[in-house]
Structure 1
Amino acid sequence: MPGNKAVAYQGPGRVEVVDIDYPTFELTDGPGVNPANVGRKVPHGAILRTVATNICGSDQHMVRGRTTAPEGLILGHEITGEVVETGSDVEFVKVGDIVSVPFNIACGRCRNCKERQTGICLNVNPDRPGSAYGYVDMGGWVGGQAEFVLVPYADFNLLPFPDKDQALEKILDLTMLSDIFPTGFHGATTAGVGVGSTVYVAGAGPVGLAAAASAQLLGAAVVVVGDLNADRLAQARSFGCETIDVSAGPVEDQLEQLLGVPEVDCGVDAVGFEARGHGVEAAREMPATVLNGLMTVTRAGGALGIPGLYVTGDPGAATQEAKVGSLSLRLGLGWAKSHAFTTGQCPVMKYHRGLMQAILHDKVAIAKAVNATPIPLDQAPQGYAEFDQGAARKYILDPNGYLGAAA
């Protein structure tokens, strides 16, 4: 049986590559595993040799110590892999398939899954609806920043690519299907982006850039991206976005300079709970800033897509209220403007097949938009550190040498 190396959270600011057990078709005890899931049989699962697994901003929240993640938790929910073994109940997925793994774990059998709300599956997390690999309070399914990973409900969850050689040629684009591309697309779609829309995306990290590229794919007339990070703003401009430095003054004033009016049709929050203030408040953490700002600049009758992460437990928050996810929102403003709000995990399976087709038929270059940067698994700690410092890159881990071979 082969070994298995993986990236583990080891306390605030620290990740390490460690040796873990090779997966089996049963959940065993370990850091973050829900006790009610220990011993759970997974004959419906598949074991993957990881082709690519990405560092996500959501992982970074945990690594900064901004969640209740336990030390030793194996990280990683953005997984692309090759099937090497299937459980006795798997019927359609085959050994040798190259597949994308939605970060939401879904059973395919509950009411929510049947209604395409796979981000809030009722059967995979004993504590609450919704689950994910390698994430705090998500049921304890082992993360995929590893050489091998177990995926439950394989026939339902996995998206096989139609041609292996073509998939490996476009693997840096296709690996975005596990999370950030559908998540960004979900943010744009739920914000109501369509042909001719004006769009403001708050945040130029990978999800914000994916949302901006998605808005372009959906036909937006103008996409404006706001951030504090000059390199990330430059990355947004590299594929045709307008940009705003939110430290330079009120967003509405800068929008008026760009668009002639101080508002947009559609707003996307790709920042989440670690938001900082705008203008003179840019150095201070203010977790409600982005949401309140989006309500200010989104037109009456418009919508806000909110793929940015908000949590129920934040030990590093500045206030007692924020530590339990309670924020000072100007909900009255949103109500007065008849805004629609969409929050929560992106239901990846709602979008990933269509976005795969867009990639395979050259309708979008998502890896270029987010500046996908492959690194070996043993460089994961360096990748996390550089990403935390604001690198304008999307780091893609290559645990088994597929990306080097593809190049």
Structure 2
Amino acid sequence: MSGNRAVAYKGPGKVEVIDTPYPTFDLKDAPGINPANIGRKVDHGVILKTVATNICGSDQHMVRGRTTAPTDLVLGHEITGEVIEVGSGVEFIKKGDICSVPFNISCGRCRNCKERKTGICLNVNPDRPGSAYGYVDMGGWVGGQAEYVLVPYADWNLLKFPDRDQALEKILDLTMLSDIFPTGFHGAYTAGVTVGNTVYIAGAGPVGLAAAVSAQLLGAAVVIVGDLNEERLAQARSFGCETVDVSKGHPKDQIEQILGVPEVDCGVDAVGFEARGHGSDSSHEAPATVLNSLMDITAAGGALGIPGLYVTGDPGGIDEAAKVGSLSISLGTGWAKSLSFTTGQCPVMRYNRGLMMSILHDKVQIAKAVNAKAIPLEDAPRGYEEFDKGAATKYVLNPNGYIAA
């Protein structure tokens, strides 16, 4: 093998499919690669032929120019693939295995990994805990929106599907295991969702919809999803959610119309730092809006799951504080109500096997819930453009033709 095709960030608002080197078992210099990682040996890794790789809202933050991502960074952290080469240090993963790749890279050796905190591995990013494929400031591991990709620590990181034919039949569901399904589940789970709860989920993008499905899976009595986008709200209603159009005002009033009380047991932020205001302010960015409204509408003693992305470097922030991730949060409200908060990357490996079993045994249809649509790798720029405009679609790239038409 000598070539590879991949999706690269080419500056604010632009991505292109480019020719890029075929992966090898060491890290070479490339856009976004941490200098301390250059030359790092990856004999514990495998090379995957990509089966499916998805466009994520987190990628969109970079493509919009809202991070410090460098030009020509190869994108993509939601990866499912077939093993075609195995490093000399890999013992249990074999050539031909079809596997899901957790978006957060972890070593399996450090204290945090051993405590199942795989989103903040201490050994894969020289700058700070935590790493991911194709993402700014995450250690520089090359992204997986490509025909081929290198996955390190393969015996630890890869979730092997038990049956190849079954995996390919359910691939549009299984590809969600790399990120959005575990991330949405993490949001609902850390918000304390259990049987009989009422839940409010801010954001009807793919992660918000995955959180809604997860809340249903966890036994919630009522799941309410809020957004500005009617097409996405309709998608939430398609699998039994109540919805709130936050362009019409604070969600509290609409929640009271649904539940009879202006509060819920559990709250989930699936929006993140590009949040907009509510009501008449919905045309303006107001990055603390979702967090503050969730504290307002979540019952005392409740919890907030916050899988929505917040960053420490945002060139497009509305003010100098927002540009470094400093937001005007009403912490006093949270303190007075004894609310709990869980933030940060989802530790995918904590959930992915259980969610895989739910998919394989037909307990959940996550692809239908998020309206998954497979497109060729060469159509990635169109997928990014339509997703950025608010399409109620989860775009799945199909670079090697594994996904049937």
Deviation (angstroms), 1:65: 0.1
Deviation (angstroms), 1:249: 1.6
Taking the aligned partners of 2:241 and 2:339, their CA distance within structure 1 comes to 24
Q: Hey, what does 2:174 align to over in structure 1? A: 174
Q: Hey, what does 1:154 align to over in structure 2? A: 154
Q: Hey, what does 1:80 align to over in structure 2? A: 80
Q: Which runs of 4+ in 1 moved over 6 A?
A: none
Q: Hey, what does 2:48 align to over in structure 1? A: 48
1:249 and 2:260 aligned: no
Q: Hey, what does 1:298 align to over in structure 2? A: 298
Opposite residue 386 of structure 1, the aligned amino acid is E
Taking the aligned partners of 1:109 and 1:184, their CA distance within structure 2 comes to 26
Taking the aligned partners of 1:249 and 1:41, their CA distance within structure 2 comes to 54
Contact 2:2 2:21 in 1 (8 A): no
Partner SS state of residue 136, structure 1? coil
Across the aligned residues of Structure 1 and Structure 2, the Cα RMSD in angstroms comes to: 0.4
1:221 and 2:215 aligned: no
1:287 and 2:287 aligned: yes
1:239 and 2:242 aligned: no
Opposite residue 365 of structure 1, the aligned amino acid is Q
- Counterparts of 1:377-388 in structure 2, within 5 Å, are 377-388=377-388
Q: Hey, what does 1:205 align to over in structure 2? A: 205
Deviation (angstroms), 1:250: 1.6
Deviation (angstroms), 1:242: 0.2
Contact 2:244 2:251 in 1 (8 A): yes
1:163 and 2:160 aligned: no
Partner SS state of residue 200, structure 1? strand
Gaps of 5+ in 1: none
Opposite residue 30 of structure 2, the aligned amino acid is G
Q: Hey, what does 1:19 align to over in structure 2? A: 19
Opposite residue 303 of structure 1, the aligned amino acid is A
Taking the aligned partners of 1:335 and 1:169, their CA distance within structure 2 comes to 48
Q: Hey, what does 1:98 align to over in structure 2? A: 98
Q: Hey, what does 1:372 align to over in structure 2? A: 372
Deviation (angstroms), 1:334: 0.3
- Counterparts of 1:293-332 in structure 2, within 5 Å, are 293-332=293-332
The alignment-based identity, stated in percent, is 80
Q: Per-residue displacement from partner, 1:349-391 (whole Å, max 9, x unpaired)? A: 0000000000000000000000001000000000000000000
Q: Hey, what does 2:361 align to over in structure 1? A: 361
Contact 2:187 2:211 in 1 (8 A): yes
Deviation (angstroms), 1:21: 0.4
Deviation (angstroms), 1:101: 0.0
TM-score when scaled to structure 1? 0.99
Q: Hey, what does 2:337 align to over in structure 1? A: 337
Deviation (angstroms), 1:2: 4.3
Taking the aligned partners of 2:313 and 2:30, their CA distance within structure 1 comes to 21
Deviation (angstroms), 1:297: 0.2
Opposite residue 171 of structure 2, the aligned amino acid is I
Taking the aligned partners of 1:202 and 1:139, their CA distance within structure 2 comes to 30
Q: Hey, what does 1:351 align to over in structure 2? A: 351
Taking the aligned partners of 1:252 and 1:74, their CA distance within structure 2 comes to 41
Partner SS state of residue 299, structure 1? strand
Gaps of 5+ in 2: none
Q: Hey, what does 1:130 align to over in structure 2? A: 130
Contact 2:201 2:223 in 1 (8 A): yes
TM-score when scaled to structure 2? 1.00
